[in-house]
Structure 1
Amino acid sequence: MEAQHTPDEKIVKIEKTILRGTRPRSIGYNARKGTHGPCITDVVVRLHTDSGAWGIGPANISQEKAKGLLGSKINEIFKLPFGAFGEGIKLDLPLWDLTARILNLPLYRLLGARGKRDVQLYDASIYIDDLNLNDRQAVSLFKEEVYSGIEHGYHNFKIKVGRGSRWMEPKEGIRRDALVVRTVRETSPAGSKIMIDANMGGTLNSTLELIRLCAEYDLYWFEEPFAEDKLLNLALKSHLIDSDSKLLIADGEFHPPNYFFELVEEGLVDVVQHDFSDYGITWWRSTAAKLESWDALCAPHTWGSYIERYHHAHFAASIPNYALLEASPGKMPGIIEDGWEMKNSRLHVPNTPGAGITIEKKIFDQGLDDRSAFSLSI
């Protein structure tokens, strides 16, 4: 695609609204934290320009910071092909959507269109929901959770493990973790990708034991098995190589250390998972290029959001080294999809301008009544 000129339109209105949705069930524990509940909250910003153009996306900007950006021209805080810079980084996703809409391009094409438009999703909502159950009851519960995911269109699943780090006696916790993994694998459709996530709740020894117990279940990745440590990560990767395992190591979501990308470059971390909206498309684009040169994959963290999946899928469709998109069943009232389709655990990215979504006026305006919301204009 030929180089595009960065628009110079002035931003004359910035609105921040709060969207609230629900999940089909309350979400339980992970290895470190207690119950997560049934609610979804998305913070969304909409930008308007002096030509009447608009763009929308997740962005948690303060009213004070937004006042400082009101009246800016797009090309004063955003530059193609790189993206947002300076204070514009706080509006990264809305700026990408706005620019793509002005240029009448789907966002993935503005970003480069080097990936696949059918983006694989996984259901990340299988948490530690079984602490008061016996084995038989736990198996029944997790079968139902997989069935629920399938009913909502998901075939791939990520399972929270690490019961023995805080909630159960260590050996019993690892045994139950393995039982849940077996249940999810046996209940999932053929060919499903199954991941596990310890939220840094494990040790090297507990990680190796769980990998041993789950060896026959063809896991795709093990996420955050323990806090990053060069020697421990090296020992883990050496074990996987020696045992001829194809299991990938995913990491980067929670406070990655300053040497994190050394682990990736050295092949000790295979899948990078920094947060999608916190870091933004601008950061992720440059990072994806670096990871591609190291044969590493991108799979940004998006848990807790519903609306992020749209901008996220455009990013996924723009790069060749994308893994899976984190999502989960849920309902977010007011989202109007423009050409989107989800089928067989894949989200098909449309050719409509921008990110391909808008928000129903009534719902958007209701969200403006939240005490953390605002509407500023000149």
Structure 2
Amino acid sequence: MRIKKVEAWWVRIPIEANRQHRSDFGRLTTFDAAILRIETDDGIVGWGEGKNAAGSAGHYGTLVHMLNHEVGPKLVGKDPADITTLWEMLYNGVRHETASQSGHAMPELSRRGLSVAAISAVDIALWDILGKSLGVPVWQLLGGRKAERLPAYASGGWESADKIGEQLKSYVASGDFRAVKMRVGAMDGAPHLSAARVRAARAALGPGVELMVDAHGTYTVADARRFVQLVSDCDLAWFEEPVSGDDKSGMAEVRSAGNVPIAAGESEATRFAFRDLAVLKSVDIFQPDPAFCGGITEAMRIGAIASAFNLRFAPHLWAGAPCFFSGLHICAASPASFVIEYSLGANPMIHDLVEETVEVRDGMIAVPDKPGLGFTINERVLEAHAQSK
């Protein structure tokens, strides 16, 4: 089996006006991603996804061009089952043979950002191909699954203080969720304004529902510490991305300022960045995004680091179908995982892009049993919303 064709598209799907929300990213009117298709010479197709932009919106022209014209040609003729070898080849670039012989990484200078986003898309598609070629789901190739269904939390929460309780309660009712996440930070302004929204949310939800908050890295260390003190009695399950991912030592300061667990990692790429988060004692929960951190291969390595440092693992899955389904398989196989992020914002990149129905029941989501990643791309939707290459 050899790779025959590699093709990527910038897919941009409009979000209905009445389902759009506003956050520190502004008003999101489209859901965007780089969607990758890899075909083998015996007709097996694997789908991948790469991400390089904020939230669910952004420009993917450069990443798609890179996949089609730089990365793709390197893959044609290769064995798609050589997943780790191809990962290291793309990561180490022209020195990949020397790195392989030496037994340690010698990455290209551009070892983060677009480079790893492209590797992520390729890696996800290769696992999809391997599973399909063997007739088994990816979780089985990763070592098996620990459960047929996994707990999920409702991810959303942008409303004002007088409406946030109603919004989050609607999430709980829609899928019997036992945990919800809301946004805080720059979208509100001062920390006390975010704290007021959190207090309103906790009052509406009561003590029986887990409540997480996400600042998208928009606080300073001082403001994040103020926020932690202001909500110290709200029993938060975690405080996500309190400060910029570039300030890992600052994140450690926030973690030590209170008793709220700190979660982060959606902006991080590769196991090396997560090693630093662990060593600096910056976080309690790793949140790698499979479409940005390095794909399924790297996410499993990151999960192993979490387990080694007695940390927990909850991937960032505000994404399209290839990334989201990857997260299901990763979490099913990882000893450190404990919950799945499920978007309650408009997400046509999951619900419209695939033929399958993706839903949460009784606060749980099923792990796919089909070969590969377990989804079928809706070719009509892809064709309708694919931008020119």
TM-score range, shorter-chain basis? 0.7 to 0.9
Superposition pairs of residues 256-271 of structure 1, within 5 angstroms: 261-265=275-279, 267-271=281-285
Check conservation: 1:306, 1:327, Cα contact below 8 A.
no
Unaligned runs of 5+ in 2: 51-62, 91-117
Give the Cα–Cα distance (whole angstroms) in 1 for the partners of residues 256 and 134 of structure 2: 48
Q: Does 1:103 find its partner at 2:108? A: no
Superposition pairs of residues 142-161 of structure 1, within 5 angstroms: 142-153=164-175, 154-161=177-184
Q: Point out which structure has higher relative CO (alpha carbons under 8 A, 6+ apart).
A: 1
Task: Please identify which structure carries the higher strand content.
Answer: 1
Check conservation: 1:56, 1:93, Cα contact below 8 A.
yes
Superposition pairs of residues 177-216 of structure 1, within 5 angstroms: 177-188=194-205, 191-216=208-233
Q: Which residue of 2 aligns with 1:85?
A: 88
Find 1:74's aligned residue among 64, 70, 80.
80
Q: Does 1:273 find its partner at 2:290? A: no
Give the Cα–Cα distance (whole angstroms) in 2 for the partners of residues 27 and 341 of structure 1: 21
Give the Cα–Cα distance (whole angstroms) in 1 for the partners of residues 76 and 273 of structure 2: 37
Shift of 1:42: 3.4
Check conservation: 1:11, 1:48, Cα contact below 8 A.
yes
Check conservation: 1:126, 1:158, Cα contact below 8 A.
yes
Shift of 1:202: 2.3
Give the Cα–Cα distance (whole angstroms) in 1 for the partners of residues 34 and 206 of structure 2: 34
Q: Which residue of 1 aligns with 2:8?
A: 16
Q: Which residue of 2 aligns with 1:45?
A: 36
Give the Cα–Cα distance (whole angstroms) in 1 for the partners of residues 40 and 277 of structure 2: 43
Superposition pairs of residues 117-196 of structure 1, within 5 angstroms: 117-127=148-158, 129-130=159-160, 138-139=161-162, 141-153=163-175, 154-163=177-186, 168=189, 173-188=190-205, 191-196=208-213
Check conservation: 2:217, 2:241, Cα contact below 8 A.
yes
The one-letter amino acid of 2:265's match is G
Q: Which residue of 1 aligns with 2:267?
A: 254
Check conservation: 2:165, 2:202, Cα contact below 8 A.
no
Q: TM-score, normalised by structure 2?
A: 0.76
Check conservation: 1:123, 1:149, Cα contact below 8 A.
yes
Give the Cα–Cα distance (whole angstroms) in 2 for the partners of residues 158 and 248 of structure 1: 14
Task: Please identify which structure carries the higher helix content.
Answer: 2
Output one character per residue of 1:44-88: Cα deviation in whole Å (capped at 9) or x when no partner.
22222222222222145431032332333224x525xx8843239
Shift of 1:248: 1.0
SS in 2 for 1:72: coil
Shift of 1:345: 2.9
SS in 2 for 1:343: coil
SS in 2 for 1:354: coil
Find 1:28's aligned residue among 18, 22, 28.
22
Unaligned runs of 5+ in 1: 1-8, 131-137, 373-378
SS in 2 for 1:95: helix
Output one character per residue of 1:245-286: Cα deviation in whole Å (capped at 9) or x when no partner.
3x2111233368977634413543111223321121111111
The one-letter amino acid of 1:265's match is V
Distance 1:68 1:266, change over 3 A: closer
Count of matched residue pairs: 336
Output one character per residue of 1:68-117: Cα deviation in whole Å (capped at 9) or x when no partner.
32333224x525xx884323935110100110111111111111125434
Check conservation: 2:242, 2:251, Cα contact below 8 A.
no
Shift of 1:40: 1.7
The one-letter amino acid of 1:126's match is G
SS in 1 for 2:370: coil
Give the Cα–Cα distance (whole angstroms) in 2 for the partners of residues 52 and 305 of structure 1: 24
Check conservation: 2:179, 2:209, Cα contact below 8 A.
yes
Q: Does 1:333 find its partner at 2:352? A: yes
Check conservation: 1:122, 1:156, Cα contact below 8 A.
yes
CA RMSD across the alignment: 3.0
Check conservation: 2:252, 2:280, Cα contact below 8 A.
no
List structure 1 runs of 4+ shifted beyond 6 angstroms: 256-259
Check conservation: 2:252, 2:283, Cα contact below 8 A.
no
